[in-house]
Structure 1
């Protein structure tokens, strides 16, 4: 109606674009131009409309906007991380320097004290190593954000493999509840493996010894959801929309002291959003946290988990 109104008011041509459906119901993105053909009196005799399929260009523009948003989020994440890591680096280095100087300058040092100091130095060194690893991982995600190697991925198989590997060293019991008739998903298998591995490691890290971790999959309306539930300390209410700096929530964890930057879950979020999915967390005070992420199903090819429920 606006197009006709504009032409009636004297416009020679009107351009526009938008989504449309063709005869078979397929959605396309069209650019169109409507031109009024007028008679000698200046009145409109008829209209000429030309349509151009601009789906490819539109997809490029949408991808560019998404990429820009991702870059901005990564930049914010790096800024937040660097602010945190500068303090963490200084704290760790002060610890290493202080304990090592004491050991160097002590005239006599009890063996048990020496072991305790060495343990503290080792802990701080591990903290530094973890921060450097996370910085490298964040740089890697940023540099390869447009280079996903997409294929049809059996996410159940990915989960089963990562669960089997994690169980080797985990004190917690890990069980799976995988949808038997699950379609494959569109994704980069290596990066999705990293996502599952990180969520499992995080769940183990913050669960009490002997606690249960449950990994489940489900599908609805062409979307596959993966969930990882632990029995650790539940996240705070203001946690959902942040960049998942989870470690800060556990400074007073009565189960164990955990110190870190929490960048791992921020990287997980970036990877999932690169796949067009989303990551969120449900909280149950006193019962733990349940992380979920979604992926787009690609076809009706169904996969069946080989081991069913894994205890």
Structure 2
């Protein structure tokens, strides 16, 4: 049925009933009393309408579905329709609130910064990553112009020129950021920032690694190729010279072999294709092997002692032996003849601890933080004399990472060094 008829038919029926009541009273009493009855009923209707009109006005001040009156007469249908509309609005609002909460939660978890601005670059919202990248505080900076908050000449030029097709790379607050403004809607813009600091650091490490590896391989190859060219061009070399050349080529070949083996070991330790297969490791046997290798490398020039006063541990025996041997061989190489090297394995409150302590030349504090970098050497000439590859401590670091261990270094120039590997045990 037509909604208009649903309203007017009851209204006309109620009006007819009022008139009928007045006519009935006038018939049994007098016309004046009949008019009085009609007037009283109409006044009651009017007061009822005013009551529900006031209730509607009060409800509109706080329009919630739980506060809506039941109504009477035509107001029943009005309030019923308002109730359905309000319930639908509340349901839509709840969905929008849920989606907004999810959106903000997702934006908070993004590693990239996202800032929403209006068409004149006033900040409306940003996620925590953007706050960290650009030094913003949403509560304090909302409604402020972004170019007043990010005071960087390159960024301001980028904004002024409006060439947003290409991203902007800038150094800001000690980070390398890639920023780009993306217009959307008619009066909104999004500023996206990506922290490329770690990527740049990894790329620099890769370039350094390639350069250092090429340099390390070039020297022995140059020696070997040079001697081969001499041998080819001068077949009449005397036996003594030829033997000296062959000896040097063998030494350089062994040097290249050690370097390649260490590079392969490091690559394997970093690869996810070689997960750690833990087993019970006989630490005393491992340290006995390490001490034997250290004494062979020393050739009797150092006093090398060991102490094992802790239980075995779970891990990979070959990897641990490699790490322990690298620390011990470094101590021997950088300790002058007559010095002491002490190797110990003991239990500490933090777990199990392997320590190599020497009385060698020591290390300046400025070098300690970089010792585990690939091919980093404090004294390059001495490292080559001792036939080091420059990858030993990098191997140690990755072995410890795979075994839930940490490396700490204590050293003073001229006083010796102490390398401590601590393993946390469950």
TM-score (norm 1): 0.62
Residue from 235, 249, 252 that aligns with 2:378: 249
Shift of 1:211: 3.2
CA contact (8 A) 1:228 1:291 kept: yes
Shift of 1:244: 4.5
Say whether 1:140 aligns with 2:268: yes
Distance 2:307 2:367 in 1: 26
- Match of residue 272 from structure 1: 400
CA deviations on 1:82-115 (whole Å, 9 max, x unpaired) are: 2201112222222211122123323643444333
CA deviations on 1:208-265 (whole Å, 9 max, x unpaired) are: 3443211013332242221112344323323222224577333343x98235441121
Distance 2:206 2:392 in 1: 12
Shift of 1:73: 9.6
Label 1:77 to 1:222 Cα distance change in 2 as closer, same or farther (>3 A): same
Distance 2:270 2:204 in 1: 12
Distance 2:283 2:425 in 1: 10
Say whether 1:262 aligns with 2:390: yes
Unaligned runs of at least 5 residues, structure 1:
1-9, 17-71, 299-311
Residue from 164, 185, 196 that aligns with 2:324: 196
- Match of residue 214 from structure 2: 86
CA deviations on 1:264-290 (whole Å, 9 max, x unpaired) are: 210110110122211132212123322
Shift of 1:166: 4.1
- Match of residue 287 from structure 1: 415
Distance 2:363 2:375 in 1: 8
Aligned-CA RMSD value: 3.5
Counterparts of 1:1-311 in structure 2, within 5 Å, are 79-106=207-234, 108-143=236-271, 147-168=275-296, 170-171=298-299, 172-179=302-309, 182-242=310-370, 243-245=372-374, 248-253=377-382, 257-298=385-426
Classify the secondary structure of the residue corresponding to 1:234.
coil
Shift of 1:155: 3.1
CA contact (8 A) 2:336 2:360 kept: yes
Indicate the structure (1 or 2) with the bigger Cα radius of gyration.
Answer: 2
Shift of 1:137: 0.8
Classify the secondary structure of the residue corresponding to 2:424.
strand
Classify the secondary structure of the residue corresponding to 1:178.
strand
CA contact (8 A) 1:251 1:258 kept: no
Which of structures 1 and 2 has the larger relative contact order (alpha carbons within 8 angstroms, sep 6+)? 1
Distance 1:251 1:144 in 2: 32
Shift of 1:168: 4.7
Alignment size in residue pairs: 231
Distance 2:358 2:241 in 1: 36
CA deviations on 1:44-91 (whole Å, 9 max, x unpaired) are: xxxxxxxxxxxxxxxxxxxxxxxxxxxx99987665432201112222
CA contact (8 A) 1:247 1:258 kept: no
Shift of 1:146: 6.0
Flag the structure with higher strand content: 1
CA contact (8 A) 1:224 1:294 kept: yes
TM-score (norm 2): 0.47
CA contact (8 A) 1:138 1:267 kept: yes
Classify the secondary structure of the residue corresponding to 2:401.
helix
Unaligned runs of at least 5 residues, structure 2:
1-93, 106-199
CA contact (8 A) 2:277 2:316 kept: yes
